[in-house]
Structure 1
Amino acid sequence: MEKINWRQSEKEIYPLKKAPSITTLPLQNFITLSGQGNPNSPEFARKISALYPIAYAIRMAPKKGIEFPGAFEYTVYPLEGFWSLAEGHRVGPLDKDYLQYQIMIKQPSFVNQQVFKQAVELARDKVAPDLLAQVKFESITEKTVGMILHIGSFDDEPESFAELEAYLTSNGYRRTSKEHKEIYISDFRRVPEERRKTILRVGVEKI
């Protein structure tokens, strides 16, 4: 079977062109981990490092002679994160210590709760016990969303959000919340900030 690559097969979900877009997303499955605090902190990096061993345990299982029902070859999905601010800190200057997040890696269709549990066992020696106990397998519905590809520093995202807002308004939509999702097409731990590619995604509704 041909290897499934999300960059080619899921272009509506992961648009890699600069132009904004609006789409309705299907129910999707993720490995998730939640927290609060500055994304530049060691704790945030530690949580990211807890997701990848589980995701790759599923991807690499056939090389260990483990065959999950319905499994197929695929490219591991990018890191994603929902971002919001803690209650009482949503007005005024941004204090990153009060950022709330749910980071996640999407899973292919054959992954279910049982596959996830097996992957957790396979990754047990690579993930800190306290984080392993917090990782979840969740089905998430984002419904109708607006998206734009942002290139550059995270601190420059307001410019892309403004462009997305203008596009939404001109097409008769508005944001449903100030919360947003970021999809890290580039690995921000390795790629210089001026070259980082991040899909910005917001929930929308018809005006």
Structure 2
Amino acid sequence: MKYEWKKNDKTLYMPKNAPTVIDVPAMNYFTLHGSGNPNHAAFEEAVGVLYSLSYAIRMMPKKGVTPEGYYEYTVFPLEGVWDLEEEARGAAVLDKDKLVYTLMIRQPEFVTEAFAQEVIETVSQKKPHPLLSKVRFETIEEGMCVQMMHHGPYDDEPASFARMEQYCEEHGLIRVSKLHKEIYISDVRKTQPDKLKTALRFKVRNV
């Protein structure tokens, strides 16, 4: 049976419309670091590179290569960890040109470090791109987090984060840092801004 992340991993990717606590286990990702305005072409190129690798792995059996442990699955959603350059953190207005991000797409458990590097090399030969040399294969464990589903434009996310921070105050939790993760459930190319669904998450600890 095909593994569907929207059905099999609802707690990770389809949170409620109100803040909840979740323990996020260690998972493997292709990651790519970048900076600047996400509305610019450089951001789209980074996203495209990560998807090219992710789809290359999913399509391997059709190319005659079946990794040990392979199973049918839907490619996982794009995720991004967001921060700001130091001098921009205290500004009253968000300067998107000062954003710093790590984009990532989760990979199935059967993808090993060695196999990931083989895929990067294969894609680099077939569709060369300078960003491929900057892609990393990493195991990331987020641990205890607060998350919720945000509905609507990305620019309206501060209201959802305010609810999440209020939840922390009410439940004896402290936000670990200003970094946060966004998981893009909707395809921004095909979805109206008011219909977008984005899972928001940040790390916390007990008081």
Output the TM-score relative to the length of structure 1. 0.95
Contact 1:54–1:122 (CA under 8 A) maintained in structure 2: no
Structure 1 residues 103, 126: CA separation in 2 closer, same or farther (over 3 Å shift)?
A: farther
Which whole-Å CA distance do the structure 2 matches of 1:112 and 1:20 have between them?
Answer: 33
Cα offset for 1:129? 2.6
Structure 1 residue 107, shift from structure 2 partner? 0.6
Identity, % of aligned pairs? 44
Most deviating of 12-21 and 192-201: 12-21
Separation in 1, partners of 2:129, 2:48: 13
Which deviates further from its counterpart, 14-23 or 77-86?
Answer: 14-23
Q: Is 1:152 matched with 2:152?
A: yes
Compare 168-177 and 12-21 and name the one that shifted more.
12-21
Structure 1 gap segments, 5+ residues each? none
Show the counterpart of 1:21: 20
Please name the residue that 1:65 is paired with: 64
- Deviation digits for residues 95-129 of structure 1, max 9, x if unmatched? 11110000000011111112212222332356543
| Structure 2 runs not aligned, ≥5 long | none
**CA apart distance, 1:19:** 2.5
The range that moved more, 85-94 or 22-31, is: 85-94
Q: Is the CA contact 2:15–2:147 (under 8 Å) kept in the aligned structure 1?
A: no
SS at match of 2:182: strand
- DSSP-derived class of the 2:134 partner: coil
What secondary structure, in the 3-state scheme, does the structure 2 residue paired with 1:57 have? helix
Matched, 1:78 2:77: yes
For 1:3, the aligned partner's letter is: K
Q: Distance in 1 between matches of 2:48 and 2:61?
A: 22
Deviation at 1:174, TM superposition (A): 2.0
Tell me what 2:100 maps to. Answer: 100
28-37 or 188-197, which moves further after superposition?
Answer: 188-197
Paired residues of 2:81 and 2:180 also in contact (CA < 8 A): yes
Q: Give the helix-richer structure, 1 or 2.
A: 2
Shift in Å, 1:201: 0.4
Deviates more, 1:23-32 or 1:116-125: 116-125
Runs of 4+ in 1 over 2 A off after TM superposition: 121-129
> With structure 2 as the length reference, what TM-score do the two structures score?
0.95
Deviates most, 9-18 or 117-126: 117-126
Q: Which amino acid aligns with 1:197?
A: K
The 3 A distance-change label for structure 1 pair 125 and 191 is farther
The 3 A distance-change label for structure 1 pair 151 and 128 is farther
Indicate the SS of the match to 2:86.
Answer: coil
Equivalent in the alignment of 1:40: 39
How large is the Cα RMSD of the aligned pairs?
1.4
Question: What amino acid sits opposite 1:154 in the alignment?
Answer: Y
Aligned residues: 206
